[in-house]
Amino acid sequence: MENIEIGVIARKAGIQASAIRFYEQIGLLKAPDRVNGRRRYKAEVLPQLRAIQVAQQAGFTLNEIGTLFSGFAEDTPVSVRWRKMAERKMSEVDALISKAQRMKQVLEEGMRCGCVELEGCFVVLDESR
């Protein structure tokens, strides 16, 4: 059983120690044992921290990550948990992509605009947006 200091765990995970303390505070990580009042971690916390990072990269909020970790029956495989959460998140991502495509289109049209005044600007007058 290892007793690794928070600074070492933070460096290995590539995050700030304050993030680890925050994850504990909100329940994403279990509070570690303490030795002389200082947090001491087991190496098994590293895959948990990596899972949090991957889930954040996928766009999951910290609340959603909490659901991923503890919002299912304990015997639910990780793959099933991920699939269910990912299915929900995909519709949000699709909506974001659509919005970004519309934004890009409007920006491109604006870049082609040569209008002198707003009153005659085709970008502003196009009511199809």
The answer to whether residues 56 and 65 touch, using CB atoms and an 8 Å cutoff, is: yes
- Euclidean distance between the first and the last CA atom of the chain, given in angstroms as a whole number: 61
Residues 125 and 79 in one domain: yes
pLDDT of residue 129: 61
What's residue 76's pLDDT?
Answer: 94
Q: What pLDDT is stored for residue 109 in this prediction? A: 85
Question: Average pLDDT per run of 10 along the chain, which is 129 residues long?
Answer: 88 96 95 89 94 96 94 92 94 96 89 78 67
Counted domains in the chain: 2
Residue 116: the pLDDT is 78
Residues 66 and 78 in one domain: no
Q: Domain span at residue 30?
A: 1-71
Single out the residue in 71, 96, 115 at which a domain terminates.
71
Cα 63 from chain centroid (whole Å): 10
Task: Work out the burial of residue 28: count CB atoms within 10 Å of its CB; fewer than 13 is exposed, 13-18 middle, 19 or more buried.
Answer: buried
Tell me: do 14 and 48 sit in the same domain. yes
